[in-house]
Structure 1
Amino acid sequence: MDKLKAMSTFVAIVDQGSLSAAADKLDRSPAAVVRTLASLEQHLGVRLLNRSTRRIALTDEGREYLDHCRRILADIQTAEFRLDSRRADPAGKLTITAPVTFGRLHIAPLLNQWLKQNPSMSAELILLDRVVDVIEEGFDLALRIGHLADSSLVARQVGSTPYVLCASPELIEQRGRPSHPEQLSDWPTVGFTPAGEVWQFQVKGELWEQRIRPVVSANQIDTELAAAREGLGICRVLAYQAQEDFERGTLVPVLTEYNAPALPVQLVFPHSRLLSPRVRQFLDAVVGPLQERLSGMAGNKYQ
């Protein structure tokens, strides 16, 4: 049995969602795909997929084996590309997604600079404040903020960013500064609708959850920050989102000693996708500058 071929077939079945779709993708007959899967399961001594006429589902053993297959196949593909000097110069189109504010402030400038240095390349940068399915939506690369739960993705961490609490100088002048998270129950606040009405802090090394009563809540960060600038209340955002306000002095940080642990900032790409020269070279070009930007960000002083 050709183990690499069997692994590729198994991954294709899972990614395509059916035996017939995998057969089309691999340009093989459905019967050949079935035989390969059966031989692989017999060799391993476990069932990898539960199959019916309508759907397939991974078994626990299949899910574990799938992770190993993705990593092995990705490593092989990467090694082949690195050894092929004819593919050293990137060409084609790079598709990237990132959160709106982070993408505007940090990804777009670095991407523009990289495109100047690689005239054979083009790019599409999609800025969205939602978690994108990188595989389903066909992106080469995504910028993720937070802990990565999807095991089908490879992550390359470039830094971290904490949550910070912000208030307008006018509000601080009127009320002074809060000295403990529990005081927020008596303070006007500006909420971010997707995050709910409980803010997390770290008090003496322990998690502290504080319920707030927002004067206004918004589902867009820019709207939340605008309300805070008007003095309507304290808001809670990621440090990079408030960076421009901190620099202009339109908002100031508060309760910095109680910030919860910072969230990782990562560039991610699929295990199952070929790490092309354009993706690899873009990663090599931007990881260092992103690390410098995040480490030098004023908000990181408040971790």
Structure 2
Amino acid sequence: MNKLKAMAIFVKIVDVGSLNGAADKLSMSQSSVVRALAALENELGVQLLYRTTRRLTLTEEGRDYCQRCRQILLEVEDAENALTQRQITPSGKIRITAPITFGRLHLAPIVNEFLTTFPDTDVELLLLDRIVDLIEEGMDIALRIGPLPDSTLVAKLIGNVHYKVCASPDYLQKAGIPNTPTALRTHQCIRLTALKSHAEWTFKETGKIHKIGISGRFKTNHIETALDACIQGLGFCQFLSYQVGQKIAEGKLVPVLEAFQPNPVPVNLVYSHSRLLSSRSRHFIEWATPRLKARLRLSDSEFI
């Protein structure tokens, strides 16, 4: 048995989620894929996948072995790339995840440019407003906004964004402009329930961070919906600068309490310590970093 080939087949089965799909991707017969998987399990003496008529599920041993297979296969690929100079022109698939709004506004245009510049690459961009487990969900790179408590991640800082409390000009004309964060307690505030602290907003006053409890008639888990409600005059809402910058520039929203902004929020490209970074993923990070930094600097100069 060719162990490296069997490992590659196993990883492809996991990535695609089916034996037939893996066979199609590898231009092999399904019977050959089944035999390779069976031979690998027999060699290892463990079951790697639970197989039913409807789905494949990794066993605990299979999950650990798949992670190690990815590392080994990437090391082999990098070794070959180093010999053939292929790392100069990246090729292959990169899986990236990012928050929805930031990904759509800033990361997607850079991914599109990367694909145009390097036609041998494929990118899958997964936009979700939740923390994605890079290993569990098979992602190569994540863009994270906020502190990184997970010590298993390697991070490359690309910039910062800022909190902005905003309201529509109509709402401000009707209800007045608050002079201090505590004044928000008497105003209608739109709550973003996707945030753990949606009933409190953070501010910085005389060098100290403090939280203000807010309330209002409307709450939502969706950024765009909160933006629409804010523009329509339903009250104040606290956004991150990249989410609201264009609306401020267009005059649809007005920032308030600028003197009480809390500390900036870091934006990082990250990957896992426990998953070897491929040369194509490394190339993307190095290529995308200055472009993302430039977009964030432009956003700061225009809207902050």
Map of 1:90 onto structure 2: 90
Q: Would you say 1:193 and 2:196 are equivalent positions?
A: no
**Residue type of the partner of 1:114?**
F
What do the CA deviations read for 1:62-106 (whole angstroms, capped 9, x no partner)? xxxxxxxxxxx9xx9999688544332211111111100000001
What do the CA deviations read for 1:236-276 (whole angstroms, capped 9, x no partner)? 01110001211211111111110110111000111122211
1:264-303 aligned within 5 A? 264-298=266-300, 302=304
Q: Would you say 1:231 and 2:230 are equivalent positions?
A: no
Map of 1:108 onto structure 2: 108
Unaligned runs of 5+ in 2: 1-39, 47-59, 62-71
Q: Would you say 1:205 and 2:207 are equivalent positions?
A: yes
Deviates more, 1:143-152 or 1:76-85: 76-85
In 1, Cα distance between equivalents of 2:221 and 2:301? 22
Unaligned runs of 5+ in 1: 1-23, 31-54, 57-72
State the TM-score, normalizing by the size of structure 1: 0.72
- The answer on whether the counterparts of 1:96 and 1:125 sit within 8 Å (CA) in structure 2 is yes
- The answer on whether the counterparts of 1:78 and 1:275 sit within 8 Å (CA) in structure 2 is no
Output the aligned Cα RMSD.
2.9
User: Compared with structure 1, are the counterparts of its residues 301 and 112 closer, same or farther at alpha carbon in structure 2 (3 Å cutoff)?
Assistant: closer
Q: Would you say 1:218 and 2:220 are equivalent positions?
A: yes
- The answer on whether the counterparts of 1:161 and 1:299 sit within 8 Å (CA) in structure 2 is no
In 1, Cα distance between equivalents of 2:121 and 2:84? 18
1:90-169 aligned within 5 A? 90-169=90-169
In 1, Cα distance between equivalents of 2:133 and 2:124? 16
1:12-23 aligned within 5 A? none
In 2, Cα distance between equivalents of 1:292 and 1:276? 25
Number of equivalent positions: 241
SS across alignment from 1:144: strand
**Residue type of the partner of 1:86?**
Q
- The answer on whether the counterparts of 1:97 and 1:127 sit within 8 Å (CA) in structure 2 is yes
Q: Percent identity?
A: 39
1:24-35 aligned within 5 A? none
**Residue type of the partner of 1:215?**
R
Find runs of 4+ consecutive structure 1 residues off by over 2 angstroms: 27-30, 76-87, 298-302
SS across alignment from 2:217: strand
User: Compared with structure 1, are the counterparts of its residues 263 and 82 closer, same or farther at alpha carbon in structure 2 (3 Å cutoff)?
Assistant: farther
**Which of 249, 252, 258 is the matching residue for 1:250?**
252
- The answer on whether the counterparts of 1:81 and 1:277 sit within 8 Å (CA) in structure 2 is no
